[in-house]
Amino acid sequence: MIDSSMQQFTFLAARQFEWREVPTPKIESPGQAIVRPLAVTRCDLDLYIANGIVPMRNEAFAFGHEIAGEVVEIGDDVNGFVPGDRVIVPFQINCGTCKNCQLGFPNACTSVPAFSAYGLAQSSGKDWGGGLSDYVLVPYADAMLVKIPDQISLPVAAAISDNASDGYRTVAGPLEKQPGEDVLIVGGLAQSVGLFAAQAALALGAGRVVYTDFDSDRLSRAKKIGAQVLERQYHADMPVDGQFSIVVDASNMPDGLIYALNSTAACGHCTGVSAPGRKMDNIPLGSMYMKGITYDISRAQARATMPGVIKCACDGRIKHEEVISKSVPFAQAEEMITDPDIKVVFVKD
């Protein structure tokens, strides 16, 4: 029996959070399920929302969106899951049946408001709940939920719901088209995504994987993963370190993006995992045109990407736990949500 009220970790303003007692979500249609979060990894974006670098209105909303947990209740039409199943809850809300979902674009599901996701109510205008809560409602259980294989821990499963899948998609498609090519990862403020991308590139058979960054902890972790590392302070007009057919910009910095684009070889592919600076006047469109490079910028298609990530985790090619840097109980969320460590996971007490 689920209690009528629950605890929810709630954003109030930058560096201001509190645990609030709120009504427990209820199943309102037969395709829904309720999941009890057991592990929630902090998304790279969450850190910057929490510390105010990414500004949000001072309006309360549920926080946390990288979720792994246990099904506790299902609607009558849910066929793929039963109470007790360990599941990954992808961070984006998607129906699985609209045109975009069928095309593999769950981040653009047309059955819900644009940008709908857990823990990010101000993006879509609708609060879908947050992972750092006693329970979350999954509106499209069969389309969204993914069972966690025995080989995968709850913290790793939580990371796969967003950042680990985000890193994977930056290199999986390009390496499928150009097997064995060298890969450059421009690391930075998308702390874990860049490292997850390096892991994926190595797992998927890239040639040389070069990881650049200005942070010694991330450089050390990238080296342990198996990447060649170069310490770089990104700045305007900085020289490149070669030409790479596949480049990932995880810097989330305008100068890092320019370095990434200038490092992309003729007819190569550069993927950006964020929108540094939001608007930029100095993107080298002329050289990009002459070289014929592709720049791909998009939010992750998490649910569509997850099967490939899970396969690599199950067969041991990717050890996502090497990126997760700190584990703390839910009860420490207020003090640890702004901790600068690379990848924090909150686990149910």
Residues 69-124: tens digit of each pLDDT: 999 999 999 999 999 999 999 999 999 999 999 999 999 999 999 999 999 999 99
Q: Are 150 and 140 found together in one domain?
A: yes
pLDDT tens digit string along 173-196? 999 999 999 999 999 999 999 999
Residue 130 and residue 208 share a domain: no
pTM, full prediction: 0.96
Tens digit of each residue's pLDDT (9 = 90 or more) over 122-173: 999 999 999 999 999 999 999 999 999 999 999 999 999 999 999 999 999 9
In a shared domain, residues 11 and 155: yes
- Residue type for 199, please? Q
89 & 173 share domain = no
Average pLDDT over residues 1-9: 93
- Does residue 261 share a domain with residue 305? no
User: Structural domain tally of the chain?
Assistant: 2
Distances (CA, A) of 289 to 192, 273, 286: 31, 21, 5
Domain encompassing residue 114: 5-162+301-347
Are 131 and 36 part of one and the same domain?
yes
Residues 226 and 105 in one domain: no
Same-domain pairing of 201 and 126? no
Q: What is the pLDDT of residue 266?
A: 98
- Taking the C-alpha atoms of residue 211 and residue 230, their distance in angstroms, rounded to an integer, is 6
What is the domain-level CATH number for residue 290? 3.40.50.720
Q: Are residues 284 and 176 in the same domain?
A: yes
Residues 6+ apart with CB under 8 A from 85: 70, 71, 145, 147
Q: How many CB atoms lie within 10 A of CB 18?
A: 12
Q: Do both 266 and 137 map to the same domain?
A: no
CATH number for position 17: 3.90.180.10
